[in-house]
Amino acid sequence: MASLLVWVVGGLLAYRLAISVYRLYFHPLRKIPGPKLAAMTTAYQFYYEIIKQGTFIWHLEKLHEIYGPIIRVGPREVHIKDSEYYDTIYASSGRRREKDAATVAQFDIAGSSFSSISPEVHRMRRSPVEKFFSKGAITRMEQNLQKYLDKLVAHVEQAQKTHKVLTLDAGFAALTSDIIHEYVFGIHTGNLDQEDFNEHIRDGVNGLFRLGHLARFIPWLQPTMNSMPRFLVEKLSPYAFALMDQKQFIHEQVVNIQNGQSTGQSGSVMEKLTSPGLPDHFKSARNLSDEGFALVIGGTETTARSLSVGMFYLLSEPRHVQKLREELRAVMPTPTTKPTWNQLEQLPYLAGVVLETLRLSTGIASRSPRVAPSESLVYKDYTIPPGHLVSQTNYFVLMDPSIFPDPEAFDPERWTRAAAKGERLDRYLVNFSKGSRICLGMNLAYAEIYLTIATLIRRFELELFETTKKNIEFARDFGTPYPDEGNYSLRVLVKGLVSE
């Protein structure tokens, strides 16, 4: 028995040695610079992502300082830090790009357009959905956005009367969650009707990203959790239970809509997606549930976090608030005036505030690799053969000092200065990615950010309460940016109402 064990262990070690030698000296990526251990095994990334908890992005930055703009970060992955090369990796439909199966599997939503690997499947799944998120479609639902924004305003007014500290980050998550649930499923989740904004929604979404981050390295984790009894999952991992709970809730909504038993409003996105005109394979309960889950998670967390980051920077420097409020008077002559998204877009300083909000909030933090299956990608003196992973990091583009001087600063006027010189800084605003896979919910996010920031700044005198840059600063990458400890947070005092 002992000798058999020795043979097994010896065989495994020999196999690992052979694989390592191949990856170092014979692999098609062998000429790409980078640490040898990273070329040999994904355990290199695992150490920084899981053991050191989401710090690989900062190690990656140091690696680029050592090896240059192109490095091999895994056995089959190359990372490039060059803002001008971003469009080559995240290309439009004219140049075939695929997603990485292992990367998208971490979210366990294989039936969604987000997780589609090939451009053909992606196009087939996305096409029926994207018309509901066009700029025209979002403009037509603006009254609905305003309805939920009014509920958030009521919380702020109540906090002003009672001198209560307001947890705005939870308020923003409640706002975006209520909006996307009603739009996609026609249901009223009521987060904004609760005094604490139903804070577990915010905490649950944060937990989902943390679990997905772990599942990137442990692909069997989510399938295993899915097969376990709910009570056991709840005991083992609140994050996994939150994920399971949300998915089951969404699945139930889809089945109810398919069976004509929905208690929600008619005309929802999901109701239209179950219409007879669409192919049956698209309309399976699993595929629609996966699509709905992707829309809900994508439509809740990133926009809510962007609002928190933007409001933090505004409230940190009163001159920004004063200048923005003065500009807003052009379309909001009284504090309670309700402007349209289109009206707000015409205001240059507000536009700069929104763009800086997006830039400093990053969006998706983790690398999202692409595969060019039939094209060799050439970068400087290096050739990346077809079929290998190539990625960039959004944060590195958004904080590139050659494009955004003094990148750490919140400077809304950098956008107006650039526009006056004919420079298109928006080319480098990559929060929503680029190319054929650009974020489906981009227009909804813009509308929510414009309307929310304008409303709060024009109506209320707000002051930060026990909130510093550490509470919102990007320190750890769990798919989206997290501060060094806990989750991002924004607490404020409502000092008064803005006079005419």
Looking only at the bridges linking them, the beta strands covering 389-391 and 77-80 are parallel
User: With bands split at pLDDT 50, 70 and 90, how would you rate the model's confidence at 76?
Assistant: very high
Residues 6+ apart with CB under 8 A from 122: 99, 113, 116, 436, 437
Residue 12 lies in a domain: no
CA separation for the pair 286, 294 (Å, rounded): 12
Terminus-to-terminus CA distance in the chain, angstroms? 86
**Average pLDDT of 133-152?**
96
Residue 1 lies in a domain: no
Length of the chain: 500
Q: What is the DSSP string of 385-425?
A: -TT-EEE--HHHHHT-TTTSSSTTS--THHHHHHHHTT--G
**pTM for the predicted model, two decimal places:** 0.94
CA separation for the pair 246, 240 (Å, rounded): 10
Give the tens place of pLDDT for each residue, 325-382.
999 999 999 999 999 999 999 999 999 999 999 999 999 898 999 999 999 999 999 9
Find where tokens 């008077």 sit.
Answer: 329
Neighbour tally for 216: CB within 10 Å: 21
CA distances from 242 to 239, 245, 464 (A): 5, 5, 30
Q: What is the gyration radius of the CA atoms in the chain, in angstroms?
A: 24
Residue 116 lies in a domain: yes
pLDDT at 262: 65
Q: Is 77 helix (H, G, I), strand (E, B) or coil?
A: strand
Residue 8 among known ligand-binding residues: no
Looking only at the bridges linking them, the beta strands covering 460-464 and 491-497 are antiparallel
Residue 22 lies in a domain: no
Residue 16 lies in a domain: no
Neighbour tally for 87: CB within 10 Å: 14
Q: What is the DSSP string of 164-191?
A: --EEHHHHHHHHHHHHHHHHHH-----G
What's the token pair of residue 35?
Answer: 């640490």
Give the residue from 151, 57, 166 showing the smallest Cα distance to 489. Answer: 166
Q: Which residue has the higher pLDDT, 103 or 1?
A: 103
Neighbour tally for 406: CB within 10 Å: 9
CB-neighbour burial class of residue 139 (10 A; exposed 0-12, middle 13-18, buried 19+): middle
324-327-333 Cα angle (round to 5): 115
pLDDT at 264: 61
Q: Which residue has the higher pLDDT, 272 or 143?
A: 143
Chain centre to alpha carbon of residue 397: 16
CA separation for the pair 50, 61 (Å, rounded): 18
The structural domain count of the chain equals 1
Q: In which element (H, E) is residue 285 found?
A: helix 285-298
Query: What's the number of CA atoms in the CB half-sphere (13 Å) around residue 214?
Result: 13
Q: Is 463 helix (H, G, I), strand (E, B) or coil?
A: strand
Give the tens place of pLDDT for each residue, 482-494.
999 888 899 999 9
Q: Is 469 helix (H, G, I), strand (E, B) or coil?
A: helix
What's the token pair of residue 421?
Answer: 């010189």
Residue 211 lies in a domain: yes
CA separation for the pair 128, 139 (Å, rounded): 19
Q: Is 99 helix (H, G, I), strand (E, B) or coil?
A: strand
pLDDT at 43: 93
CB-neighbour burial class of residue 212 (10 A; exposed 0-12, middle 13-18, buried 19+): buried
Point out the least confidently predicted range of 1-10, 158-167, 226-235, 457-466.
Answer: 1-10
Q: What's the domain range around 438? A: 28-497
**Average pLDDT of 417-446?**
93
Neighbour tally for 432: CB within 10 Å: 19
Find where tokens 């959790």 sit.
Answer: 225
State the DSSP code for 373: T
Max mean pLDDT range (143-157, 225-239, 280-294)? 143-157
pLDDT at 65: 98
CATH for 401: 1.10.630.10
Residue 13 lies in a domain: no
